[in-house]
Structure 1
Amino acid sequence: MIFLDVPFKEKDHAKSLGARWDSASKKWYVPHELSEKTDAFQKWLAPTLIDTSLANFDAQQRTLASDVHHLNQGSLDGTGLSLSFGLTAEKAQKGATLSSVLKEVQYVLANRFPGAMWVMAEIANLNERRGHLYLELTESNAQGQTLAQCRAMLWASQAPRILTQFETQTGSALAIGQKVLLLAEMTFHEQYGFSMVVQDIDPSYTLGELEANVNNIRKQLILEGIYTQNKQLTLPKDFFRVAVIAPPAAAGLGDFRIDADILQKTGLCEFTYFYSAFQGESVESEMSAAFEAMQSLHSAHAFDALVIIRGGGAKLDLNSLNKYTLAKHICLAKLPVLTGIGHERDNTILDEVAQSRFDTPSKVIAAIRQAIFSQAHLAQQHWQHIDQASRLWVRQAQNHLQQLNHGIGQNSQNLVYRWKNQLVPLKHQLERRCDAIVRNASQTITQLNQVVNAQTSNKINLKKLQLQQHHAQISSESKRVVEQKRQQMVQWIGFILSSGPKTQLNRGFVIAKDQNGQPLKTAQQALKSQTVQLVFMDGTLMARIEPQTIIQEPHQQSNTIDTIKNLSNPRNYDEPSR
């Protein structure tokens, strides 16, 4: 470290050239990155001072090498490890006390790092107690493996100045996950171990890390050939459906919706909102989900544009949006993307790849409103032009129609007068011919009427005579048929009355019944009953049937059937001859 002898009145000049202040030694010094460019600091450098600094540095190097040699030469015996640190009072002992070893480490560290030095690290944890700021610093490789870590402190006496300067230049407070460049003094305590005391923080390094991340994303998108893909899309001249991705309950969203809700209520434009975090670890996952939901609706019912808005915030807070995945979503979007993130001074990779960038959410909705109003104004101008042109055309048509009407009136009167003169003689001639035709037709009709009357009267009289004859014949024949049927019915009634059981008994027939009084129709039934009832005209007798062969008389049975058939045929009973 090269110290400078800077008078108090020249401290601002030295600081502007890049000199740093070492609070431990209360001196200004040349930072490490300017150690090879000391020409600007020659006026504050003394040859003896430079030589002394170099000599001190060489002595520190030799002391550290000697200490390491002593540590490596520690001998092992049967009872334990013997360490030699040049402590003459303890050489006779078998080992050194822990406090003496740690004090020697403290001495070596103080000689090796007599002043503060700039250290690059990442903040892994951050706590504040009684105004003091306690940090956990870490360094990781590209695979995320931790290479080193230690504790650091920022005392309350310097914390307000350093933190205010950092927040002023970066726009954000010191937070976990930030990469910082610290001017720190190395300290070692025998009870609390190694730590660093922070004396200053370089905000430009943190901002440079953010810019480097943006540059890497930009190079990757350019390499893939999609960096300007969304910019090549054309903004619609009018907006009817707009998708909006914004953090919920954000002030910027409220400013946006002041005008957006008016446009939606009036039916001029429909806004569909998708919500996502814009700060923190969940930004990438939530915004990717919002993009996917928007794309699904866009496939079903297309949006005119996608708006990504967020209110103003610290520059480091906006670093959560500098993600390759989010930038690629915008580049590959099938609709133009409009961003309104932060303020005019803020810029993210999302703003770079979007079709249009606006400073604030209010300016985004103002542009949409202006486009809608411009189209409405243009439509109004077109309507006025159409209205004026149509009115002029109507007036011209009316004038033309008036001329045509006047010409038609004159021509029609002339034609009517001319045709009237031509039609009068034709009318008289037609009337005469019609009268002659009517007279001839009347005479013809009268003659035909007389002929028809003469021919039809004879035929009518003949038909009347024939009808009278037919009527007399039908009347006599119907009376004969009725009388014949009446006589036939009388015969049938008599036959029916003479066919009852009593009549048959009076004729000498006997009815055979079983013990239950049921008539027996066959000899087989009589054999089964053994005892039968014989009903005569004047009484009933009981008879016993002796088993014997049944004698059938076929000829008698046949005669009986024929008799029944003859009796059932009405034609056999005195049918009158015709």
Structure 2
Amino acid sequence: MFQGMEPISPATTPSRDVYTVSRLNREAKVLLEGSFPPIWIEGEISNLSRPASGHVYFTLKDAQAQVRCAFFRQHQRLLGIILKDGLRILARARVSLYEGRGDYQIIIEYMEDAGEGALRRAFDALKQRLLQEGLFDVAHKKPLPGLPRRLGIITSPSGAVLHDILTTLRRRFPGIAVLLYPVAVQGENAAEKIADAIRIAGKREDCDALILARGGGSLEDLQAFNEEIVARAIYACPIPIVCGVGHETDFTIADMVADARAPTPTAAAEMLSPDQQVWLAQFARFEARLFTGVQGQLRSHQQHLDWLGARLVHPRNYIALLQQNLKTLVQRLYLAEKTILRQARSEMQTIIARLHHQSPQPRLQALTLNHRHLYARLTTGMKRCLELADSRMRQLMQSLHTLSPLATLERGYAIVQRPNNNAIVTDARKIKSGDRVQARLAHGQLDCLVEKTHED
């Protein structure tokens, strides 16, 4: 007891809220579940237990801690892995508390192998990035050849995949040549080797199409076909590529970039090889149509030959017939010539009569007389006009001479000008002693020096 403090009596304390263990665990559970959203957690399985209920219980641990886990039966439908101690998993879970024992635990809703989960996340990230760059666009995909002369196969030479593809090609169309590009389809540096094979095939261009194939497996087994280097090699290849990797449910980045995806390697071979039975049936139909056409042509030519044979006559008879036709044509030609000449003579006489009737001679004579009369009138009129113009011009010349300053000069007058600008001097006050002037006379001019001026 502290000094100066009185002990508290239970009777004097306020009313107390007493928790039961069940209430405490229940509220703790609500608090935990409300504080944590669904989480992803990674760890190693230990103490795995499978009771008769079908639920699975285990401990998930890392290097420093561990937590109890419950994986209920209704969530185990999509489980694709075998649970065992020591397996490292990635799980989606809810944080909870088991009220019966007060144990803190997590409830697993989904789990996957931790290694495969990392590969899946890398797969999704690469898929999204290549999708944004346009490597999956349909516009970039090349059409497959209808009848390839040679197919290139990029796969392992030791697997059953190559045998299945060759068997399918022999069964469907054995005339197609095959060129193998052997590569490792799994393991270290497999992606680089596959990409190198694609680049070599694209550079050589000695195949009409390529098959990229391997058998089925886990996501880790197919990792070489989910690498960026393989995707970009497929995208840059100028030859159409059919990707037949894994089983029908397997889907890789290579499938998305390739020009076509086949669910299996065998399906890839079927996609690129026509069915020989279909071709043989079509050839049989063509053969039947050709045979029918040839038979029809032969019958038509035989009928034409029979018709020509019926028309064929002996050359002597044919010559006699031609001679008779020639005589007939000569007679018809003679009669036609006489008729044509008679008609031409009659038409010519009619035209001559019309020409005499339409002769321009009388009209030309009348026009000639009129022309002579008009010419005489024109000559007389022109002489009269010229005489009037000459008299008028003489009158004007006399008037002009009377008004001309030259006539004034003839009477002894002169025109005084300044020599620098030829300005006429009319006022003696504008001239000073010592100035030079020019005096223009009726005949010639004088350069004068003014000695003195006189005003009126």
TM score, norm. by length of structure 2: 0.47
- Greater relative contact order, per chain length (Cα 8 Å cut-off, separation 6+): 2
Q: Say which structure is richer in helix.
A: 1
